[in-house]
Structure 1
């Protein structure tokens, strides 16, 4: 995970920021993240592996 985080922080401006809202009681909270293609992470960070469940 640290290797992936380091890579992401160096490249985060390349990825679109998106947000979503989650209802909580009478209000909501907003989560903000970036859209990162998994293929790009797999190519860039050597020890990352993809595991598919189900």
Structure 2
């Protein structure tokens, strides 16, 4: 996602949103974009679970 483990949650959230706009299936329908979006979603989910 382009962030460090020590970054604050708002920095990670902004990075997630930026990547989501780039790779969202409504914007980018390529197979690579779909796989990238799934990886981005998984990484963000794991981050959220660690910060709870």
- Same fold per superposition (TM over 0.5): no
Which structure has the highest strand share of the two? Answer: 1
Coarse TM-score class (shorter-chain normalised): under 0.3
* TM-score, scaled relative to structure 1: 0.27
